[in-house]
């Protein structure tokens, strides 16, 4: 892998926009109680499944934990209607994992009609719960993702769900998850706010610092933004072209083929085209050392 990346850095030919290695998006079985997360996006797609699950009667369970187990088992078995009913029972009984799973399902239209208002409600319940209570180590990633999810909703606002933008609250949620949970996605979103993407609290140095923390955790969007800032000198006032190109290469290789990742590929191509042969060779050496250290 190192040799292939190094070759791409020092080549004098123009890189292909499709040269990215596949990115294995972090996701895991809920049966193992999570270690990865993603933030929801506002509803844009039509629902994948009809809302039959919403019309099912609520069954009785021994307790919320039993309902949680039944809901997860039904979900993985493809029985969405039973899963929704069981997870709702568990969520109403205070099970954070059930609240998180329902939030994800409503945010993505997974087995239910996509509904950002309900997703926001379930994620907010987790935020309220963990604002005061220490999460179990197995629940930290889940809790962090809920903080980020609510932060994204409040940063962007969702008029269709009657969620109004609240930049100050979004900033606080990102900062809490970035510092208390050390979540890379929270650090990236916090950095974006410091860099003025949401029009609040602009501080370039702070933004670069948070980007670097997220980038070191392998967050490709953070690596791309940090790499561009280093390459141009925006991060520290002096260009660090080789180091910036190293981060851009890492981001490019982690980027998937989705249209949403195209900006990463384009940033890398732009930097590589303007880099000198010395920049490329130095970046290649830095990249080899970086990968050896991580492995």
φ, ψ of residue 158 to 5 degrees: the values are -135, 90
Does the pLDDT value for residue 63 go beyond 70? yes
Does the pLDDT value for residue 61 go beyond 90? no
pLDDT for position 14: 39
pLDDT for position 62: 83
Q: Which residue has the tokens 């969405």?
A: 80
State the pLDDT confidence band at 197, using cuts at 50, 70 and 90: confident
Give a yes or no: residue 45 inside a domain: no
Give a yes or no: residue 188 inside a domain: yes
Give a yes or no: residue 279 inside a domain: yes
Give a yes or no: residue 71 inside a domain: no
Decide if 123 contacts 146 (C-beta within 8 A).
yes
pLDDT for position 190: 96
91-135 confidence digits (pLDDT tens): 999 999 999 999 999 999 999 999 999 999 999 999 999 987 778
270-294 confidence digits (pLDDT tens): 999 999 999 999 999 999 999 998 8
Does the pLDDT value for residue 59 go beyond 80? no
143-174 confidence digits (pLDDT tens): 999 999 999 999 999 998 899 999 999 999 99
Give a yes or no: residue 223 inside a domain: yes
Domain count, the chain: 1
Question: Could you tell me if residue 33 is left (phi over 0), alpha (psi between -120 and 50 degrees) or otherwise beta?
Answer: left
* Dist. CA 99–CA 261, nearest whole Å: 30
Give a yes or no: residue 196 inside a domain: yes
pLDDT for position 251: 96
Q: Provide the residue range defining the domain that includes 240.
A: 1-11+26-37+183-295
State the pLDDT confidence band at 57, using cuts at 50, 70 and 90: very low
Give a yes or no: residue 94 inside a domain: no
pLDDT for position 10: 40
Does the pLDDT value for residue 176 go beyond 90? yes
78-95 confidence digits (pLDDT tens): 998 899 999 999 999 999
More confident residue, 17 or 156: 156
Give a yes or no: residue 272 inside a domain: yes
When the pLDDT of each residue in the chain is averaged and rounded to a whole number, the result is 82
pLDDT cut 90: percent of the chain above it: 66
26-51 confidence digits (pLDDT tens): 333 333 333 333 344 333 333 333 33
């Amino acid at each position: 892998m190192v040799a292939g990346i190094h070759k791409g850095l020092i080549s004098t030919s123009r890189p292909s926009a499709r040269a990215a290695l596949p990115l294995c998006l972090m996701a895991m079985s809920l049966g193992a109680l999570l270690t990865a997360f993603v933030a929801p996006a506002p509803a844009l797609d039509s629902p994948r499944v009809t809302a039959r699950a919403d019309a099912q009667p609520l069954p009785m369970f021994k307790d919320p934990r039993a309902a949680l187990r039944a809901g997860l088992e039904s979900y993985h078995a493809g029985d969405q209607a039973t899963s929704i009913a069981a997870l709702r029972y568990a969520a109403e009984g205070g099970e954070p994992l059930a609240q998180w799973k329902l939030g994800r399902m409503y945010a993505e239209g997974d087995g239910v009609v996509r509904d950002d208002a309900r997703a926001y409600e379930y994620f907010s319940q987790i935020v309220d719960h963990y604002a005061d209570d220490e999460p179990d180590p197995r629940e930290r990633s889940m809790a962090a993702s809920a903080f980020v999810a609510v932060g994204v909703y409040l940063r962007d606002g969702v008029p269709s769900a009657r969620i109004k933008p609240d930049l100050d609250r979004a900033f606080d949620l990102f900062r809490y998850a970035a510092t208390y949970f050390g979540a890379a996605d929270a650090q990236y979103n916090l950095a974006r706010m410091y860099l003025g993407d949401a029009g609040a609290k602009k501080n370039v140095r702070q933004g670069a610092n948070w980007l670097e923390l997220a980038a070191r955790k392998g967050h490709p969007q953070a690596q791309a933004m940090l790499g561009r800032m280093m390459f141009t000198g925006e991060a520290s006032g002096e260009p660090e072209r080789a180091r910036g190109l190293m981060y851009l290469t890492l981001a490019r290789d982690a980027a998937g083929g989705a249209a949403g990742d195209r900006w990463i590929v384009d940033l890398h191509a732009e930097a590589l085209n303007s880099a000198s042969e010395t920049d490329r060779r130095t970046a290649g050496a830095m990249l080899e050392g970086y990968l050896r250290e991580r492995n």
